[in-house]
Amino acid sequence: MKMAWSIADMPPQTGRVALVTGATSGLGLETARALAGAGARVILAARTEAKAAQAAADITRSVPNAALSFERLDLASLASVREAAARISGQYASLDLLVNNAGVMAIPHRTLTEDGFETQFASNFLGHFALTRHLLAMLCAAPAARVVTLGSLAARAGVIAFDDPQLARGYTPWRAYSQSKLACVIFAIGRRQQAGAWSAPRRIPAGR
């Protein structure tokens, strides 16, 4: 009995639109490459166009007919997330696959985003949560949409500090990272359990 799965087992993705965050390196780059190779139109979401262009060139060398586009996205900024989602919604009627992959790891010193959130929690979890919420109507419009949120083994050591989620007290790089990845896992499991009951969301107020 075959147990292992490989890219060769991926079904055709022709006609599907996929958005991959952090698509310029690592798992994000290889995920984008695999989806493009299977025929999907892939949106490379990244903070800088230059890095996305390098990733696109890399993918095109192995997938000459790849259908790729760039979307500027900074997950540490809720305004950037909102603006990116609005642009994507204006270009496509639906979204078949959202891969929440991007993240930062073990920042040595506690820093806050422009919105006042601890950077790892904001970039790894809150940004992806907001992005998924903003794109939910597009996902619901697709016949068989999927949301993939990457976790980490570090989540096993994670504890959600509900009384201090921004870790103003007792910040350490790995404590912050583990908390953020545990939040991602909880989000992924929660969305999977509710997948059968998804419905088009109400419009999110512009200030949130």
Question: Annotated catalytic sites, by residue?
Answer: 177
How far apart are the C-alpha atoms of 126 and 149, rounded to whole Å? 12
Q: Which whole-number Å values give the CA distances from 21 to 46, 79, 130, 174, 207, in the listed order?
A: 6, 16, 13, 22, 23
Residues 6+ positions from 33 with CB-CB distance below 8 Å = 58, 59, 62, 63, 66
**Measured in whole angstroms, how far is the alpha carbon of residue 208 from the centre of its chain?**
19
Name the amino acid, one letter, at 46: A
How far apart are the C-alpha atoms of 58 and 77, rounded to whole Å? 28
Name the amino acid, one letter, at 160: I
Q: CA angle 63-140-52, nearest 5°?
A: 30
How far apart are the C-alpha atoms of 80 and 74, rounded to whole Å? 6
